[in-house]
Amino acid sequence: MRASFVFSEVITGLRRNVTMTIAMILTTAISLAMLGGGLLVVRTIDKMKVNYLADVEVTVFLTEDISANDKNCAQQTCAAIRQSLEGNKAVESVIYENREDAYNRFKKIFESQPELVQLARPESLPASLRVKLVDPQRSDAVVQEYTGKPGVDKVDDQNKFLDRFFSLLNGARNLTFVIALIQAIAALLLISNTIQISAFTRRTEVGIMRLVGATRWYTQLPFLLEAVVAGVIGAVLSIGFLVGAKFAFLDQVLGAMGGVVPQISALEVLFPVAPILLGVSIVISAITGYVTLRLYVRH
């Protein structure tokens, strides 16, 4: 098989149906960019889980009488709760935070919002026991055990907030994948139509080649490669779009969030997302091209 002939036929086919080729490339690029975005969201969620679960705490807020009168958790009620927590096998460490400590931490957290700090008063903040767990994902047992105990006002589980936060991120990921799937279907239809039109416009020369002994594989390979080349170009464009979006948009947005969501590095876009997009584009284009040729092209 002459490689020069095959590649010349591929170039001819792409140029002959240039508008459909451009549409196919752009649709493929958008679909793959959405898929890549979803993969980056998954990696970001995984990083956040590692970062945040290591610092997840259960906070046992104490009643007003303890907050007002027991600065060092030395009185019987507070001491009993603390000793019980320290003896719990699910608990790694316990830190007592009185009203003054809570107010100082509040000022540090909201130092960028001085108006809010001015409105707060130490007496409005309860004392608490900050509990770090051995396994943060098993916080429900500690919450249930200490909710309603004498001296306990309420028990706050940070893991519940993270679950809601990650649910929002998972929803964004799923929406991205759905849009990517819709775009992928459109790309598959365009690939199929482009191959059919390309084969129809060259039906005479293909028929002549078959009459002089060319195999079916030899005559159909250029059409298959057209689909693969268009898919690869679309993948390259999608990778370029993701890199451009990172530097032009994502870095500023994530930076403004103060580290709540970790930054996405260029290396994460280039590996492993870029190879996945290239691989997906080649496989899908090749399979779509092959199926189309088998179903619709009889030469």
Residue 143 lies in a domain: no
One domain, residues 78 and 30? no
The reported pLDDT for the residue numbered 298 is: 56
Q: Is residue 88 part of a domain?
A: yes
How high is the pLDDT of residue 70? 93
On whether both 174 and 240 belong to a single domain, the answer is: yes
Give the whole-angstrom CA distance, residue 103 versus residue 107. 6
Residue 145 domain flag:
no
Average confidence (pLDDT) over 26-50: 88
Residues 289 and 206 in one domain: yes
65 in a structural domain: yes
Q: What is the pLDDT of residues 40-76, one digit of tens each?
A: 988 888 888 777 777 788 999 999 999 999 999 999 9
Q: Which pLDDT belongs to residue 154? A: 94
pLDDT for 240-256, tens place per residue? 999 999 999 888 888 87
Query: If you average pLDDT over residues 99-125, what whole number do you get?
Result: 84
Q: Using CB atoms within 10 A of its CB, is residue 101 exposed (0-12), middle (13-18) or buried (19+)? A: middle
Same domain, 268 and 124: no
17/132 same-domain check: no
CATH number for the domain that contains residue 91 = 3.30.70.3040
Same domain (yes/no): 167, 258: yes
The first and second tokens of residue 237, run together, are 């464009």
* pLDDT grade for 4, boundaries at 50, 70 and 90: low
How would residue 13 be classed by pLDDT, with cut points 50, 70 and 90? low
Q: Provide φ and ψ at 42, rounded to 5°.
A: -60, -45
Q: What is the mean pLDDT of the chain?
A: 85
Q: Say yes or no: 200 and 250 in one domain.
A: yes
Q: Which residue has the higher pLDDT, 279 or 209?
A: 279
Is there a domain that residue 157 lies in?
Answer: no
Work out the pLDDT band at 180, boundaries 50, 70, 90: confident
Which residues span the domain enclosing 87?
Answer: 57-138
Torsion of CA 97, 101, 103, 109, to 10 degrees: -90
Tell me which amino acid residue 124 is. Answer: S
Whether residue 142 has pLDDT greater than 80: yes
Looking at the structure of the chain, the number of domains it has is 2
Among 293, 178, 271, 188, smallest CA distance to 230 is for 188
Quick one: pLDDT at residue 243?
Answer: 94
> How large is the average pLDDT for residues 122-129?
91
Distance from C-alpha of 7 to C-alpha of 152, rounded to nearest angstrom:
77
Q: Is residue 151 part of a domain?
A: no
> What would the 3-class secondary structure string for the chain be?
CCHHHHHHHHHHHHHHCHHHHHHHHHHHHHHHHHHHHHHHHHHHHHHHHHHHHCCCEEEEEECHHHHHHCCCCCCHHHHHHHHHHHCCCCEEEEEEECHHHHHHHHHHHCCCCHHHHHHCCHHHCCCEEEEEECCHHHCHHHHHHHCCCCCEEEEEEHHHHHHHHHHHHHHHHHHHHHHHHHHHHHHHHHHHHHHHHHHHHCHHHHHHHHHCCCCHHHHHHHHHHHHHHHHHHHHHHHHHHHHHHHHHHHHHHHHHCCCCCCCCCHHHHHHHHHHHHHHHHHHHHHHHHHHHHHHHCCC
Q: Are residues 118 and 211 in the same domain?
A: no
